[in-house]
Structure 1
Amino acid sequence: MAAETERGAEAPGSPAACYRELSQFAAVTRAALGAAAEGQTFLLHAECSRPDLPRRRLLRFSRHYSLWRDGDGGLAVSRAALSAEIHNQLLSQDSPTGQHRAVLSCCPRQGHELLEVWDSSGRSHSVDLTALGKHGEVYTEGRAPSPHPPPTTQVRAAQPVVPVPALCPAGLWHPLPVPGPFACLAWSRSETQLLYVAEKSWPKPQSPCPWDVPGAARPVEEDEDEEGEQFLYREDWGEALGTRSVPVLCVLDMEGSSVSVLEGVPEHLSPGQALWSPGDTGVLFVGWWHEPFRLGLSACSNRRSGIFHLDLGSGHCELLSAEHRAACSPRLSPDGRRLLYLEGCLGGPHRQCLRLRMLTWQTRQTVTVLDVVQEPMEAFAGLYGEALPPRCWAADSRRAVLGTPQRSRTDLLLVDTEVATVTNLTAGSPEGCWELLTLQWDLLVATCSAPNRPPSLVVSALPPAGRELPLCWVPVEDTPTVPGVTWKTLTVRPPCSGQSPAAHGTQAFEALLLSPLDGAAPHPLVVCPHGGPHAVFDARWRPSMAALCRLGFAVLLVNYRGSLGFGQASISSLLSCVGVQDVEDTQLAVEQALRSEPLDPHRLALLAGSHGAFIALHLLAREPERYQACALRSPVSNLPALLGTSDIPDWRYTSLGLPYSFERVPRAEEVAAMLQRSPIAQAAQVRTPVLLCVGARDRRVSPTQALELYRVLRARGVPARLLWYPEGGHALAGVETEADVFRNCARWLLRHLGQPRRDGTAPCTHGGPAAVPAPR
């Protein structure tokens, strides 16, 4: 683990001190409502998390509230109990009536997974899933944070439950929440069965056999077919899903405390996101095709998948959605008559504008409620989220509420599924990011935040149809704005260019500008193009960005053309134009900000990751004297080298407008075109000091990309530093890793741009070349 060890790193006003202060605001990761008694009284259970930096772990805790709803629809809220820490919990889910709670936990000593059921009387059921041996590990990605066992144990760490920006205080490289594709914990309507997804049970690795010793006798009963299976390669689902290979649907029957693995799922499918069908007679699930081989699934909504129904009586498995599409996130209405889900196209951009589809259960007829939006309208710019909220239906089984990027905001939209209308419930609010946690009994529970305001927990009562606006939000845990930070949205209109398709050449895009409130202008500017590339920097709380403002920097978050939230035409415009259009857009946003805002044009830096780092490296080569510092995470620098190392090799073709097929092998002219678009080909023009942060276990962008770039820069005398995180993946996630990455990036910027002064005098720069330690 690379670490900052210089004295004074924790001094007041230092990067470490600013980060520590601003990362302590809790994020609400889950919420559930329960009816406390007859009438209009409800209990609200919220699960929260925040980094515990001194202990290098994620602190998880619960909060409880009482809600009262009067006859006029007004709400009152009070704290019902003190906060309590949550230990070793991997998954949890309340039953439909709110009378039971299922909890999947990990026993730290044995490493066993326990599935328990709790009610008002205490624990009613407890099943040791590991001891039963019916399946492997339960899938928990996107659901529960790691219990952080001691390093000497063999207990696995669960994947994060909360949206990535909440778990990653840096918030630089994952602008949108990315839910896990498989995990679920679903109650039957009778509340007697629990449905979940786990890894298929595989034979345990055998210890060396006696016949491996010369002269030893070989047992006659040994199965010849199992010989040599210990090292058989099994595909997985790529970055962040390295332990996910063959998922199976599992059911816990609480009446007999028995566990069964459901049969009938076609062998060419990997099931996930399961729920019970009406009447508990079957199971609905999302099935991903995994033949002829698996492509990376994390943050990729373009993989072939469908909504299936497995009839538990007959064993028949029926495809409910379209044959050659990407479908996910099924949500059944309260009356069991309608099924909502998201649908996208196969191939092309990994993230794209999606359709909202609805299936009528009795007739099996499917209609499109909301279609793909090519050009954003004032009231609606399209759907871009990878998942619908777990509980999104109103009590009338007609309306649904969902969250999605709308340009540089994430808003809550109310959809009337019968007339296909959309009402933006949060447009115009001072908060730029809204996320729905649950919708039960027409009570909305959500969080809202802004670049200068940490997340607040709020509730509202959903009025009858047609009278939803204005919606009155009542704060449950209100968080004040952070002093010293202001923000605004800049609209950038590119000139006509021959580089982009004519139909898309002049689309407007946006950038978010965060600025220090005090201090002497002009401010030094840190430029951040997002990764993805099909993602978006929405106007949410990012502790690292606020910390940079506290250190005296202005920050420009650029949503270049190709970002989510601006229509499918904008997304498609980037295909075949990577390394050109995205680079030009970023520089255009910088120039506009310099003209219109009190910024110092002589103190500019780049801070980005993944494809954003790809853009930044192009800018360093194009403008060798323009930027004084650059800090990058998991950079893409050599496109053809990714063909054999990335879990998403298809993107290398798609990004250049080339077709992809599973059996395809690269041709010489295609490799040449990829190399021509690669920053490594222009590395000779780079003069700016570069900090590189990489994870040794990155499956999306091989860390050898950064190592190659690091060596080239050093050979050419460019100040460079490489931080190598042995356990890090593409996200460089984890409390300690994220803090270390931010601290090193901030100190790198301060070192090469000079400490911003608050008295209007010239900055104090640090002379001499940057240290160039060898990678670990």
Structure 2
Amino acid sequence: MSTTNRLIDFCRGIKGKASSNSSVIKSLTEIFKKYGLHPNATKATLSSNSLQPKSYKLRIDWSHTDFESIEKVGFFTEYMVNLKDDGNVDKVIALNNLQDVSEELITVTSLDNQWKAVVREKIGKDKKSSQVIEFWSKKGKIKTLNGDKDKSFGKIHCSPTFGKMSWSRDGSQLMFIADKYKTTSGFFEEPKKNKDNNDESKNDLDENIKPSGQGEEYLLKEDWGEQLEGTYNPIVCIVDRKDDYKIRTIEIPGVTCSEAFWIDDKTIGFVGIMEESRRLGLILCPVRKSCLFKCDLRDPESEPICIYGKNINIALRSPRVSYDSKKIVFLCNPPSGPHGQASSLVVLNLQDSTTKTLINTNCSLPNEIEDPTEIRSLYCIYLPNPCWLSDNKSIIVEASMGYRTHLFHINCETGLHTRIALPGKVVSVLSLLDDLVVLKISEPNRGNNLQIGKLNNNDNQLALIPVDSNYEVRIDDMEYRCDIIEKIDPATNDKQIITSVYISPKELIDQPSATILFPHGGPHLHFVASYISAVAAMIEVGFKLILVNYRGSTGINSAHEKFLCGKVGTTDVEDCIHVLKYYIEKSQIDPKQVFLLGGSHGGFLVTHLIGQHSDFGFKACKVRNPVTDLASGFGTSDIPDWHLVEGSGDLKIYPFIKPTPELLKRLLLKSPIFHIDKVKTPVLMCLSTKDKRVSMSQGLNYYYGLKARQIEAKCLVYEDNHSITKETHFLDMSVNTMLWFLDHLLSTF
């Protein structure tokens, strides 16, 4: 399809439904496959080059979808980075070492580039899978460890929630987070006798000791919720390469260990998450009570000690230690309230145990979006790793503001923070070493724009040069605009803002045409103006998209995010209608061709819209794992506190809550299912059988309610998690979504 003859135009001229036309289905599949084939840079690793003092090695890890096997493929490319005499980057030379690493779960290289650890999943003769750690030197593979085989550790965790595997600075030890290895004797059966001992060697007391784990086969095992199934008891594991690969484990009863890091070669630190009355979901929920611990490895019997958070109610994450091992910087939040919220930035002096708050969360001024001079409220899930500069005084952070993400330089001694001027709307740090930084710069019509440069501490400037333009994605027939839309709060008469990213086929940017309104989930998250392959695919089909950041979205300040608590189903719904009217008045969207798309809380919003505003005439709606009933969701989700915070507005109500009739009524009245009698819009429902965040029963109940009322509805069910991330499922859902919208493009109720 050409840019002026898009698939949406072709569908207007066909007879029958788009979903019955093989040409349409083929074109849609090819469009989504094309964007899925574009590699996405996921990680970068800089390492010093001992052979050439003014050069570095750079490895970029990529992933994309193989549509022959419909699976995710990983590979890496390598480069030589040469510096000028003044320390700035001279040139980047591709080494043409493209290697497939799809079978590698984790790969980490020592600082001196002499050792590499690789985690793989192996399938044994009994068809059971287990993880192994391979140790490689320049001479080849030296050692393989299997935690299941030697019963030293269980599942190794590689998600950002638990931090990354890392080498000690001297390359002698490897540290990671894994579940504690646990065996049970199963049912109440007779324990097997030890062949090396006879009955006479045991005394009566030994005979009366219950075998470990006996009768616990069916005992409830609490994990950490959505996408962390089977994560029960994470501990710190350290492999000593010089001591015959001996494994030392560190654990604290009632505490989950996460984000372990090296303070120096003999001391480690880690975050301990409190296992309170129950384990609540951790993914995208960094508000669980936690403390910062350290442990001296020189003494084999040493126990971890708490160095921050023992006597205060705090949730902390993302600890980063300075190169001189004197300071740790980390993010803090209260252990309650909205799951996405502004964080405090704290630095801990390890020499005298004093702390200093560099950025707090109580700023009443909103963040400036386009050209900020300071960080008023800090929004970032994690700090760059590493984030310290070589002076051991300064760090760099990514700060999201409205629809943008900026890079800031922060002096941890003076507290001064300065924005580093960069092109593009969104910037993320992929690697940092010796003040040499690799950045990924993005906007809706440009992806994989990788740049590298040397940060000059004197003027906070980066002289950037491209890493590899061969992998860059440019979409010339797409345009976008970012808007700040004002809204007056009738209760206080205060001026508040909604931000949005308006993305369009180039030829339709100023013409009213078919548009998809896409509110984000969370609700305390936000859209930034970055490249999203699925959005690019929908633009190529011929739809416009409006990515809306309603009040309650992050990126502005704490008051803005908390404004929504207790007002869900009202304020966020009003804001979506307000944004639609804004673009209708500008004649940029056709009010008779508006479609709705949303997942999780975004699904909550679009099902509210088709109920509360059924007279608007939305053409069709697609929802993924939506929250449709806050009252029933309170008892079925891995984050029941979310329902109470958002539904009742009480930021500290969980877990001391009794589900009274009054509370349940209040939650029900804020739910989309309360408005189901008014729905007229056709609905495509996409649900997951393994969703722990929003039970599949939520979407099913809503779907059956639509069917009972003779509303056109279709339900797709995937064996997947809340986000529906499996490649084959995502492709099926994407094509079905476009077919649903195209089928209803010219339909009437």
With normalisation by structure 2, the TM-score equals 0.89
Using the TM superposition, give the Cα deviation of residue 13 of structure 1 relative to its aligned residue in structure 2, in angstroms: 7.8
Query: Quick one: which of 120, 123, 143 aligns to 1:105?
Result: 120
Query: Quick one: which of 75, 80, 105 aligns to 2:95?
Result: 80
Give the equivalent residue in structure 1 for 2:332.
Answer: 343
Cα shift readout 1:12-44 (whole Å, capped 9, x = no counterpart): 983222111122221111111122223211111
Using the TM superposition, give the Cα deviation of residue 664 of structure 1 relative to its aligned residue in structure 2, in angstroms: 2.1
Using the TM superposition, give the Cα deviation of residue 233 of structure 1 relative to its aligned residue in structure 2, in angstroms: 0.6
Give the equivalent residue in structure 1 for 2:396.
Answer: 401
Comparing 98-107 and 679-688, the one that deviates more: 98-107
Matched, 1:121 2:139: yes
1:33, 1:98 within 8 Å by CA — same for their partners in 2? Answer: no
Give the equivalent residue in structure 2 for 1:155.
Answer: none
Query: Quick one: which of 581, 594, 606 aligns to 1:591?
Result: 581
From the superposition, tell whether residues 41 and 267 of structure 1 become closer, same or farther in structure 2 (CA, over 3 Å).
same
Secondary structure of 1:561 counterpart: coil
Matched, 1:331 2:349: no
Matched, 1:738 2:730: yes
Q: Show structure 1 runs of 5+ residues with no match.
A: 143-179, 212-218, 754-764, 770-776
Using the TM superposition, give the Cα deviation of residue 490 of structure 1 relative to its aligned residue in structure 2, in angstroms: 1.2
Give the equivalent residue in structure 1 for 2:13.
Answer: none
- C-alpha distance in structure 1 between counterparts of 2:663 and 2:28, whole Å: 44
2:403, 2:528 within 8 Å by CA — same for their partners in 1? Answer: yes
Give the equivalent residue in structure 2 for 1:437.
Answer: 430
Using the TM superposition, give the Cα deviation of residue 229 of structure 1 relative to its aligned residue in structure 2, in angstroms: 0.9
Equivalent residue runs for 1:296-695 within 5 Å: 296-312=281-297, 313=299, 315-322=302-309, 323-372=312-361, 373-378=363-368, 379=372, 380-426=375-421, 429=423, 431-463=424-456, 465-469=457-461, 471-477=463-469, 479-498=472-491, 502=492, 505-518=494-507, 521-626=511-616, 627-655=618-646, 656-658=648-650, 659-695=652-688
Give the equivalent residue in structure 1 for 2:720.
Answer: 728
Comparing 377-386 and 287-296, the one that deviates more: 377-386
Using the TM superposition, give the Cα deviation of residue 325 of structure 1 relative to its aligned residue in structure 2, in angstroms: 0.5
Using the TM superposition, give the Cα deviation of residue 53 of structure 1 relative to its aligned residue in structure 2, in angstroms: 2.1
1:248, 1:261 within 8 Å by CA — same for their partners in 2? Answer: no
Matched, 1:47 2:34: no
Comparing 117-126 and 673-682, the one that deviates more: 117-126
Using the TM superposition, give the Cα deviation of residue 496 of structure 1 relative to its aligned residue in structure 2, in angstroms: 2.7
- C-alpha distance in structure 2 between counterparts of 1:225 and 1:199, whole Å: 18
- C-alpha distance in structure 1 between counterparts of 2:419 and 2:223, whole Å: 39
Aligned residue type for 1:406: M
Give the equivalent residue in structure 2 for 1:202.
Answer: 182
Matched, 1:192 2:172: yes
Give the equivalent residue in structure 2 for 1:27.
Answer: 40
- C-alpha distance in structure 2 between counterparts of 1:341 and 1:54, whole Å: 43
Comparing 569-578 and 126-135, the one that deviates more: 126-135
- C-alpha distance in structure 2 between counterparts of 1:415 and 1:293, whole Å: 37
Give the equivalent residue in structure 2 for 1:130.
Answer: 148
Matched, 1:286 2:271: yes
Secondary structure of 1:523 counterpart: coil
Using the TM superposition, give the Cα deviation of residue 470 of structure 1 relative to its aligned residue in structure 2, in angstroms: 5.4
Comparing 474-483 and 633-642, the one that deviates more: 474-483
1:62, 1:86 within 8 Å by CA — same for their partners in 2? Answer: yes
Cα shift readout 1:663-713 (whole Å, capped 9, x = no counterpart): 422111000000010110110000000001010111011010111001110
Comparing 691-700 and 372-381, the one that deviates more: 372-381
Percentage of pairs with the same residue: 27
From the superposition, tell whether residues 475 and 250 of structure 1 become closer, same or farther in structure 2 (CA, over 3 Å).
closer
Using the TM superposition, give the Cα deviation of residue 426 of structure 1 relative to its aligned residue in structure 2, in angstroms: 4.3
From the superposition, tell whether residues 367 and 517 of structure 1 become closer, same or farther in structure 2 (CA, over 3 Å).
same
- C-alpha distance in structure 2 between counterparts of 1:744 and 1:9, whole Å: 13
- C-alpha distance in structure 1 between counterparts of 2:22 and 2:641, whole Å: 43
Give the equivalent residue in structure 2 for 1:145.
Answer: none
1:515, 1:553 within 8 Å by CA — same for their partners in 2? Answer: yes
Give the equivalent residue in structure 2 for 1:229.
Answer: 216
Q: Show structure 2 runs of 5+ residues with no match.
A: 1-16, 192-205
Aligned length: 700
State the superposition RMSD in angstroms.
2.4
Cα shift readout 1:490-525 (whole Å, capped 9, x = no counterpart): 111112323xxx38x532120000011125932111
Aligned residue type for 1:230: E
Using the TM superposition, give the Cα deviation of residue 475 of structure 1 relative to its aligned residue in structure 2, in angstroms: 3.6
Aligned residue type for 1:253: D
Give the equivalent residue in structure 2 for 1:260.
Answer: 247
From the superposition, tell whether residues 290 and 10 of structure 1 become closer, same or farther in structure 2 (CA, over 3 Å).
farther
Cα shift readout 1:339-396 (whole Å, capped 9, x = no counterpart): 1111111200001100111111211111112222443243234222221112111111
Give the equivalent residue in structure 2 for 1:177.
Answer: none
Secondary structure of 2:725 counterpart: coil
1:125, 1:254 within 8 Å by CA — same for their partners in 2? Answer: no
- C-alpha distance in structure 2 between counterparts of 1:583 and 1:455, whole Å: 34
Secondary structure of 2:474 counterpart: coil
Secondary structure of 1:45 counterpart: strand
Using the TM superposition, give the Cα deviation of residue 187 of structure 1 relative to its aligned residue in structure 2, in angstroms: 1.3
- C-alpha distance in structure 2 between counterparts of 1:18 and 1:337, whole Å: 52
Matched, 1:269 2:255: yes
Using the TM superposition, give the Cα deviation of residue 224 of structure 1 relative to its aligned residue in structure 2, in angstroms: 6.1
- C-alpha distance in structure 1 between counterparts of 2:305 and 2:105, whole Å: 31
Comparing 584-593 and 310-319, the one that deviates more: 310-319
Secondary structure of 2:575 counterpart: helix
1:683, 1:713 within 8 Å by CA — same for their partners in 2? Answer: yes
Comparing 294-303 and 111-120, the one that deviates more: 111-120
Comparing 90-99 and 648-657, the one that deviates more: 90-99
Give the equivalent residue in structure 1 for 2:74.
Answer: 60
Aligned residue type for 1:18: I
Using the TM superposition, give the Cα deviation of residue 597 of structure 1 relative to its aligned residue in structure 2, in angstroms: 4.2
1:9, 1:16 within 8 Å by CA — same for their partners in 2? Answer: no
Using the TM superposition, give the Cα deviation of residue 136 of structure 1 relative to its aligned residue in structure 2, in angstroms: 1.1
2:448, 2:473 within 8 Å by CA — same for their partners in 1? Answer: no
With normalisation by structure 1, the TM-score equals 0.86
Using the TM superposition, give the Cα deviation of residue 307 of structure 1 relative to its aligned residue in structure 2, in angstroms: 1.2
Secondary structure of 1:646 counterpart: coil
Matched, 1:251 2:238: yes
Using the TM superposition, give the Cα deviation of residue 75 of structure 1 relative to its aligned residue in structure 2, in angstroms: 2.6
Using the TM superposition, give the Cα deviation of residue 10 of structure 1 relative to its aligned residue in structure 2, in angstroms: 6.5
2:61, 2:76 within 8 Å by CA — same for their partners in 1? Answer: yes
Comparing 5-14 and 15-24, the one that deviates more: 5-14
